[in-house]
Structure 1
């Protein structure tokens, strides 16, 4: 981890769960971590829970990644204040109750905007920052077993409605991004992980 000392990692959905756990690990490893999330108070709680000597390396930024303008402002701040992005962890995601064929289109849109478009907004800006500075950065996509080929939901479980197609889409976004970076001769690496879905 030595080469990542004081490098800048951006984590979406950093206020809880996997995002918060990643933030704790990376801050402890010596990275400057920008936590993006909608819930300001949860980000504040996370920062206060860190050891005192690590709190200064955690930068909380209220941001709903489903809103492109908020993502733009967050990344503008990162460029201005921290010099750019070296690591991106696309983690933000939501699931809402209901079945795809019955639920309101507004709810479907919220899921797709957060889980899929939010990752695309962040990925484009992070990759742009890495490419402009010619750094060997890393893009991570936190996915789900619901987004891999062959996924078959248990009929006894709640419907994952638009969550499943959003995660299938994220699988494709990662693969396209990976191929494009190779074609451009970029040193940026990509990783996708499929977390076991449990409700």
Structure 2
């Protein structure tokens, strides 16, 4: 029987790249995302290319009640999730704390922290019933250090780091692995979202260097998941060669 991976934020960036690499390796997928048409397009492409089965779940991880409803409505077979990839996350704005937009703060906290918690509570209980599983939390270099104007975004990713450590402790007795994947600069839709559609400003973030791409992170996640059952990679910090810290970057 094929294994199952559940991926949030599955229609772009790291989430979409993970869907591709897990499909390529024979996993059936539960793909959770907000964009209906894009989710359908990706799902049909992967099913046709890799002869796997995909369950499409239209949901916003911030919406606790509706999220729980659609996930718990899955059949018992689809609840046999082997791997959970908590990928849904974003940054909004880049302002000092005194000028921050509180709506942006709410969006980041509700998505990056509360959304991750809502999904994990549901899926971890399925894994406990199965006495096995692997949870991958997508953190950031911003969860390891802070940088100017990163305040609330950095705080949410520090929270992801703390939650990953505490999940590992809480779920130890249930044979559930927990891994934190912490990327540096990855060129996805991340900066476009942060700057609210300003593509030129987003492009300038990566000017003069070769950033990571989503496939780099998906490849690392596959490596972590494909280790033997007695091996867990607790944390992985992945940076472009041109980046030493959150702010120290070699631009040509």
Q: Per the shorter chain, which TM-score range? A: 0.7 to 0.9
| Superposition deviation, residue 56 in structure 1 | 4.7
Which of residues 89, 95, 103 is equivalent to 1:106?
103
Whether the aligned pair in 1 keeps the contact of 2:5 and 2:83 (CA below 8 Å) is yes
Corresponding residue number in structure 2 for 1:191: 179
State whether structure 2 residue 141 is matched by structure 1 residue 130: no
Q: Secondary structure at the match of 2:2?
A: coil
Please give the alpha-carbon distance, in whole angstroms, between the structure 2 residues aligned to 1:23 and 1:114. 20
TM-score (norm 2): 0.68
| Superposition deviation, residue 98 in structure 1 | 4.0
Q: Secondary structure at the match of 1:175?
A: helix
State whether structure 2 residue 152 is matched by structure 1 residue 162: yes
Q: Which runs of 4+ in 1 moved over 6 A?
A: none
Please give the alpha-carbon distance, in whole angstroms, between the structure 1 residues aligned to 2:66 and 2:2. 25
TM-score (norm 1): 0.85
Q: CA RMSD in A?
A: 1.9
Tell me, which stretches of 5 or more residues in structure 2 are unaligned? 192-252
Which of residues 139, 154, 174 is equivalent to 2:164?
174
Q: Secondary structure at the match of 2:20?
A: helix
Whether the aligned pair in 2 keeps the contact of 1:78 and 1:85 (CA below 8 Å) is no
Please give the alpha-carbon distance, in whole angstroms, between the structure 1 residues aligned to 2:51 and 2:40. 10
Corresponding residue number in structure 2 for 1:78: 74
